[in-house]
Amino acid sequence: MEGRHPWSRYVAIGDSFTEGIGDPDPTVPGGFRGWADRVAEVLANQTHDFAYANLAVRGRLLQQIIDEQAERALALHPDLITVSAGGNDIIRPGTDPDEVAERFDGLIGTLRRDGATVVLFTGPDVGMTPVLALVRGKAAIYNEHLHAIALKHGALVADMWALRVLRDPRMWAPDRLHHSPTGHATIAAAVLDALGVEHGLEPWNPEPLEARPWREARAEDLGWAREYFVPWVVRRIRHTSSGDGIAPKRPQLDTVIEHRSNTP
């Protein structure tokens, strides 16, 4: 298994997507596993002296990731960086995807400064998700910018919009904002594919979901709104964040302990 890839120092930065929210696991640092941990496990199994850090914190906006994580990541001298940022900005009312992309462009230039391989992410197609469907157009514009930014800086793209299986509701946690364990495992496979790394993560081929009665679906939507959407709106009004008081789960490069499995 040795020598399959050239990387030995991997740092992940970003928000809840990269922290692994939606994929709870009490056996790992921070209590959430996520796609980045899964990627690190595969990479660690294929080379000697592999180390991994994850500086992502839930709720972080792009500027916070730039200010708090970029230079901190580079100080660890990584040869591989993954970065997902800007999604929390895009879903907020009144934000301009062109302006957000301009700042993200600067971030990628910074992360590429020392020659590390950088993987960035387009956002998934949220057209099937209540509320988030309202920002589908903004997300699509931002994604087009991200492809151009990757081309400009020689970065790789893990294209979540093109990963149509993410439209399946089973790919999402109950809050409909974060991915389920199955979703995180699917994204991990997409990242490894973007890196050209062989892996044994199996593609997800589910049986089609049965159509649900309209009343049942609407009742579930109302329950979701009460439990998850209203608290999100309240945080926006109060200018608070789900990440307030949260520290990165893996602030320093460390060895990766092979998980019991790399499946959902």
Buried b (16+ CB within 10 A) or exposed e, 97-136: beebbeebbebbebbbeeebbbbbbbbbbbeebebbeebe
Residues 51-81 have pLDDT tens digits of 999 999 999 999 999 999 999 999 999 999 9
The number of residues in the chain equals: 264
H/E element holding 223? helix 214-224
* Separation of alpha carbons 144 and 146, rounded Å: 5
Has residue 27 got a pLDDT over 90? Answer: yes
Would you give the end-to-end CA distance of the chain in angstroms? 23
Has residue 29 got a pLDDT over 90? Answer: yes
CATH fold label, 9-202+248-254? Rossmann fold (3.40.50)
Bridge partners (DSSP) of residue 250 are 54
Has residue 225 got a pLDDT over 80? Answer: no
* Separation of alpha carbons 206 and 210, rounded Å: 12
Quick one: DSSP state of residue 69?
Answer: I
Has residue 218 got a pLDDT over 60? Answer: no
Q: Residue 186: name the closest of 164, 207, 208, 156 by CA.
A: 164
H/E element holding 252? strand 250-254
What value does the mean pLDDT take over residues 45-53?
93
The CA-CA-CA angle for residues 209, 215, 220, to 5°, reads: 70
The CA-CA-CA angle for residues 220, 26, 68, to 5°, reads: 90
Q: What pTM was computed for the model?
A: 0.88
Q: How many CB atoms lie within 10 A of CB 232?
A: 14
Has residue 203 got a pLDDT over 80? Answer: no
What value does the mean pLDDT take over residues 26-44?
96
Has residue 2 got a pLDDT over 80? Answer: no
